[in-house]
A = this chain, B = another copy of it.
């Protein structure tokens, strides 16, 4: 499947790379399984298995022979560009892991596998204290890992951020989130005080799971998800994962808000299309996946918000929805529906947040993570600080821990530094959108139900590179400009200023 150059050294390296990918793929499948169907009591033993597989992965990456081969490949001029990129990526992975002893690496994998269940239970019981000791352990290990990886006095949180998005450190993110705090926080206050009221009551009600699943499948297929190469499952927290470019899976969840399932599917389909468009030459290699979390989120948020919440998108799709739910949507016009799904409503839950207040949820997590990692905020203080920031920025307080710091799975997986990717993703999306509009009439395309030129743009400029380019390079090469958060600010002010007839 992999098109090989004629480097013998690379040929020797290849079996190690294959082993790494196979072990990685197995872990991905275990992850999918644990979140979608594994029985309750399976967790401890299955976590042990996952720990052992992680250990194998670690042993493979840190193998002395692999190191020698990698160094030989770095000096070999006979590598194809792809091979060279794979060797670079391998170097990164080796550097990340080799400073962590195998035992710790493996224990951490077991810990996070267990922690998912601890978190789930604590969330269900709305009991932050039940999760705090595990969280503290995970945070300490992550700090320790980051300190092992830090070079030349690099700050720990910068190390963590770099794990998800290269070239976006605290200095850069402080500026980005600073703009959001200065402009978007007061803008949201203005909107909520504007007196404009949007009715979205019809989105809540008795929508049968069966019919929601029917719409979910329809919408997934409509935006381009290929069921011959993918699965749509159900899980508590929607996510997407890829075994390779012929098996990309996403989940959604069904509740009494019909828009939740629909926009989750559109969001996850954005991730899924990225992975489905990875070229055959790259899939199942170290560069055969989306280049970064931020770039991944740019794809999902672009599809969900920019495309999926636009009026033009719903022109051909809304009649289908109204047909499936004739009672619930009786008397609801296309415009009523489109306004409802863009309603701004500050609330405590990130995943239920509207497009405008969403980055403020991320801002809060960014500030908290900085405090936890750089200022040693005790984990037990999280609920209070959390509530204070929600009050200050959004004017809401969580009623309990399940609405507060327990709402997200990320920290239980050790993913500190991940959250900023969500907001960066939206900012990348806005920059792509602005560029795309110079050459195509997106609304006209959507109104006739033709998403293919949009996919062509994204496949051509983003997807096909996998990890061959960083997100910063991709942005620059595609739009001709370095990362510029102003597009995002402008996009939000224009869209929501228009909807609520308010200016910033």
Contact = CB atoms under 8 A, between A and B. Distances in A.
Interface of A: 1, 18-19, 21-23, 25-26, 29-30, 33, 37-42, 44-46, 48-49, 52-53, 55-56, 227-231, 233, 243-247, 283-284
A230 B29 CA distance: 18
B231 A45 contact: no
B231 A37 contact: yes
5 closest residue pairs by CB, A with B: A42-B247, A22-B52, A26-B26, A41-B246, A45-B244
Contacts of A22: 49, 52-53, 56
A39 B284 contact: no
A36 to B, nearest CB: 9
B26 A30 contact: yes
Contacts of A233: 37
Given A33-B33, A49-B243, A56-B19, A228 B41 contact: yes
A53 B48 CA distance: 18
A465 to B, nearest CB: 20
Nearest to A18: B52
Contacts of A229: 39-42
A29 B48 CA distance: 15
A19 B52 contact: yes
Given A33-B33, A39-B231, A45-B247, 11 more contacts: A19-B52, A22-B49, A26-B30, A29-B29, A29-B30, A39-B230, A40-B229, A41-B229, A45-B245, A46-B243, A49-B244
A39 B227 contact: yes
A284 B49 contact: yes
A54 to B, nearest CB: 9
Nearest to A48: B1
A53 B39 contact: no
Copies of this chain present in the complex amount to 2
A48 B21 CA distance: 10
Nearest to A249: B39
A117 to B, nearest CB: 12
Contacts of A38: 231, 247
Nearest to A247: B42
A56 B53 CA distance: 11
A53 B26 contact: yes
Contacts of A245: 45
A46 B244 contact: yes
23 contacts: A1-B44, A1-B45, A19-B52, A19-B56, A22-B49, A22-B56, A25-B49, A26-B26, A26-B49, A26-B53, A29-B29, A33-B33, A39-B228, A39-B230, A40-B228, A40-B229, A41-B228, A41-B246, A42-B244, A45-B246, A48-B284, A49-B244, A56-B56
A44 B246 contact: yes
A53 B246 CA distance: 19
A229 B46 CA distance: 12
B247 A39 contact: yes
A384 B247 CA distance: 39
Contacts of A25: 46, 49
A42 B229 CA distance: 6
A191 to B, nearest CB: 43
A13 B357 CA distance: 56
Contacts of A45: 1, 243-247, 283-284
Given A26-B49, A49-B21, A49-B22, A42 B284 contact: no
Contacts of A52: 18-19, 21-22
Contacts of A42: 229, 243-244, 246-247
A367 B230 CA distance: 42
Contacts of A49: 21-22, 25-26, 243-244, 284
Contacts of A231: 37-39
A239 to B, nearest CB: 16
Contacts of A243: 42, 45-46, 49
